[in-house]
Structure 1
Amino acid sequence: MRILIVSDAWYPQRNGVIRVLESLIEALEKRGHVLGMITPNRFTTIPCPSYSEIPLALFPYRGVKRQIQAFAPQALHIATEGPLGSAARRWCLNHKVPFTTAYHTKFPEYIHERTKLPLNWLYAGIRRFHKPAHTVMAPSPSVYRELTARNFPHVQPWAHGVNVEVFTPQPKDFLQLPRPIHMFVGRIAVEKNIPAFLDLELPGSKVVVGRGPQKNTLQKHYPHVHFFDTNNDTELVQLFSSADVFVFPSLTDTFGLVMLEAMACGVPVAAYPVTGPLDVMQLDGPGENAMGCLDFDLTLAIQKALGKSPAACRAYAMNFSWERVADQFLAFLAPIETRDALPAPLTAEEVEGS
């Protein structure tokens, strides 16, 4: 099948959405499917306000139209709600072509955090975006329940996975810091609630790995914290493995793939009992299991997570296969029955003028 994915998030960015897409694409291509991508890399872009590392495509409709018609997909999936996702949605509606969407990110909460606009208004806009989709893929059971409660139609829970061949336990001595080493890995932005972790009185060392608009501010406010960045999985796995506990303070993630990556490296997790951690840890509320602890008292969660079995963490992560993720994704797609359902490709004059 020829599958076209439209995403406003792509390289050189590094985030959970991209990790999901790259792993999904790899799994689908192994099965013989042909994947195409529409990303900001082929458009004129401007930095996203308040988050300059995210490029936003400028006036992308004609370019999106050209790429869709050139690829002639048999299924079309819109991964993000940004300018490219909106252009692809508009094209599909104009030409009565079915499509699917995914709800990877809690944009209403993120925008509310920055602007204080009412959440109900913001959710109404996001609901309108997803309403025409054949299927809205929700990355966890909790998000599925939340979207259903907010009257999103056609929502289906969609599993996530981790590449356990890449994320494997490594020696602990990559970081020569006082132990225990408490680590956060992810986007360094206000919505990740990182100060809730950095403000804690903890023995040993605190480590933050990643990049984002809040990094410089946090480095100035927390000079005792060790900040790292990496562009490759080899070093990322070494950093993960060097930690004694992975601390995930976010209150707004839809899933939190980094928690699975940490566990695949044999590192237990401490987090709040909210959407994302509850799904990853498969707990109904505050509590602990062999892989870590969830508690509204994050210090207590960390204390209980320390010392959990690395082998148990690794064994648990092994259950999250990208093959299962790909199976569900294919089942959710809305096939475009024949190539005749698509408009003819653009003429040379149209291409040159776009």
Structure 2
Amino acid sequence: MSTETQKKLKVAQFCDNYGPGSNGLMYAVQQLEGNLLDAGHEVIVVAPAATGPNPHYGRPGRTEIRLPSILVAHMPTKVATSRRFRKTLKQLEQMQPDVLHVHGLGPVGLLGIWAAKRLQIPTILTWHTDFEAYADHYRKVLPYLIPLVHAFIAYNGGELLTREDLKQARADFANYPRNVATLLGVCRKMLETADVVTSPSPKTASRCQLICPGLDVQVIPNGVNPLPGTAEVDRGPIGKAPKLLYAGRIAPEKGIDRLLDAFELVRLSYPQAHLTVVGDWAPYPKIAKRLEAARDAGYVSIPGEFPRDELGQFYASADLFVFPSLTDTQALVLHEAALAGLPIVSVDPELQLVIKPGSNGMVTQPAPEAFAAGIMQLLQNLKSRRFAKKAAKTSRKLAGKWSIESQAQAMLDLYQELAAR
């Protein structure tokens, strides 16, 4: 649809994870905000009150509704309480958004689905979460979410969610712990109620369909462009001191222990190899202790967290990107690495948008021994100039399919389609 014929829209974005820590979901939402504002549309952001990156704050056409929130113990995460939900519904009724876009499964997402149902506003729900990983690694959040779910039932008057819904969910998801089954029931209700469900990868779409069999899910990957200083890096054969890179959020569910275990094995064959781990490593003491020990031993660098537009220096100087996580739903860092021409070794067989095994990377079993073997095999291949050049070309070609511009237009077209209903 041409921009000349598009209606100017007002889109409300509901996001549960909007600081204080940075994360891929928040980046994806903020990218959408920028796309909408750049195209002349208006944006309403509904999120927990929190500090953190907020690049579009104060831009004309942008409004924030920040909800009272509480900090989750020992995590860089804030969860909205149910206070001011009714007030927010009234605000939204007065603001009259054309489309609501809900991101995720927390209290703010639930509020967004409730607002859509009550105010009869077309709604997109984008599912960013691998719920299996969420339930396994974020159990600290469950004690905050479950009381909010029960409070929501008490005051939504059965309009969206009832106790019978939760009772049925606990029966349908009986193989899960009670609290997890309760949240799965909430997730199912949200998925069933939204007009359109999207996900950033086939992996996440399959997770939605496990909760809601037969659900129609549109896969719209988040767009990524080359980081400054990476597009023209000339990739050649590696030497005796290969440089490995991991960039991203550092947390238990990201597989950092797996990476360090594997790298210790790699160093047996490549004693001069060096690993750089970019991200905020301080919040998790056990991980921090291990990273500090590796840094002090001289074979790992931990420069900390950097703004995204300053990450190019790390991608440009690396020889290989290593990805130890099984819990990501698209992993924008894989796209950043591929756009920099880096080959990739990953342990997640469901995230292969930018990986062609044998050509520009490898996907291994998650055991550290298998991960290390894959890394060493790719390092061996990268000693060939021909292979290194081909791998760089393949990485850039695959990642180039998912530019910010193309993916922004896909989502803007979907907004227009919904608003016209």
TM range, smaller chain: 0.7 to 0.9
SS in 1 for 2:266: coil
Instruction: Mark the CA change 1:213 to 1:304 in structure 2 (over 3 Å): closer, same or farther.
Output: same
Amino acid corresponding to residue 322 of structure 1 in structure 2 = I
Deviation at 1:269, TM superposition (A): 1.0
Instruction: Mark the CA change 1:24 to 1:94 in structure 2 (over 3 Å): closer, same or farther.
Output: closer
Q: How many residues align?
A: 326
Deviation at 1:30, TM superposition (A): 3.0
Instruction: Mark the CA change 1:273 to 1:191 in structure 2 (over 3 Å): closer, same or farther.
Output: closer
The answer (yes or no) to whether the contact 2:17–2:47 under 8 Å persists in 1 is: yes
Q: Where does residue 268 of structure 1 map in the other structure?
A: 343
Q: Tell me how far apart the structure 2 counterparts of residues 122 and 288 of structure 1 sit (CA, whole Å).
A: 40
Which of the numbers 95, 98, 108 marks the counterpart of 1:84? 108
Q: Tell me how far apart the structure 1 counterparts of residues 250 and 88 of structure 2 sit (CA, whole Å).
A: 30
1:245-265 deviations in whole A, cap 9, x for unaligned?
A: 111111121111110011222
Q: Where does residue 198 of structure 2 map in the other structure?
A: 137
Q: Where does residue 332 of structure 2 map in the other structure?
A: 257
Amino acid corresponding to residue 151 of structure 1 in structure 2 = C
The answer (yes or no) to whether the contact 2:123–2:194 under 8 Å persists in 1 is: yes
The answer (yes or no) to whether the contact 1:40–1:56 under 8 Å persists in 2 is: yes
1:40-75 deviations in whole A, cap 9, x for unaligned?
A: 232332112452x11112224135325423532111
Q: Tell me how far apart the structure 1 counterparts of residues 259 and 304 of structure 2 sit (CA, whole Å).
A: 18
Q: Where does residue 279 of structure 1 map in the other structure?
A: 353
Q: Where does residue 244 of structure 2 map in the other structure?
A: 182
Deviation at 1:127, TM superposition (A): 2.0
Q: Where does residue 341 of structure 1 map in the other structure?
A: none
Instruction: Mark the CA change 1:16 to 1:305 in structure 2 (over 3 Å): closer, same or farther.
Output: farther
Structure 1: gaps (5+ residues): 173-177, 339-354
Amino acid corresponding to residue 341 of structure 2 in structure 1 = G
| Identical amino acids, percent of aligned pairs | 26
1:91-135 deviations in whole A, cap 9, x for unaligned?
A: 222333331111112134222245483776654442222220011
Q: Tell me how far apart the structure 2 counterparts of residues 184 and 146 of structure 1 sit (CA, whole Å).
A: 26
Rg comparison, structure with higher value = 2
Q: Where does residue 56 of structure 1 map in the other structure?
A: 79
Which of the numbers 12, 15, 21 marks the counterpart of 1:13? 21
Residue 338 (structure 2) pairs with residue 314 (structure 1): no
Amino acid corresponding to residue 374 of structure 2 in structure 1 = A
Q: Where does residue 347 of structure 1 map in the other structure?
A: none
SS in 2 for 1:280: coil
The answer (yes or no) to whether the contact 2:230–2:315 under 8 Å persists in 1 is: no
Q: Where does residue 230 of structure 2 map in the other structure?
A: 168
Deviation at 1:171, TM superposition (A): 7.3
The answer (yes or no) to whether the contact 1:6–1:88 under 8 Å persists in 2 is: yes
Q: Where does residue 26 of structure 1 map in the other structure?
A: 34
Which of the numbers 56, 68, 78 marks the counterpart of 1:44? 68
Instruction: Mark the CA change 1:74 to 1:245 in structure 2 (over 3 Å): closer, same or farther.
Output: same
The answer (yes or no) to whether the contact 2:20–2:78 under 8 Å persists in 1 is: no
Q: Where does residue 373 of structure 2 map in the other structure?
A: 300
Residue 259 (structure 2) pairs with residue 197 (structure 1): yes
Instruction: Mark the CA change 1:180 to 1:31 in structure 2 (over 3 Å): closer, same or farther.
Output: same
Deviation at 1:199, TM superposition (A): 0.6
Q: Tell me how far apart the structure 2 counterparts of residues 245 and 183 of structure 1 sit (CA, whole Å).
A: 6
Q: Tell me how far apart the structure 1 counterparts of residues 115 and 231 of structure 2 sit (CA, whole Å).
A: 45
**TM (normalized to structure 2)?**
0.69
Amino acid corresponding to residue 56 of structure 1 in structure 2 = V
Q: Where does residue 248 of structure 1 map in the other structure?
A: 323
The answer (yes or no) to whether the contact 2:98–2:121 under 8 Å persists in 1 is: no
Q: Report the aligned-residue RMSD.
A: 2.8
**TM (normalized to structure 1)?**
0.81
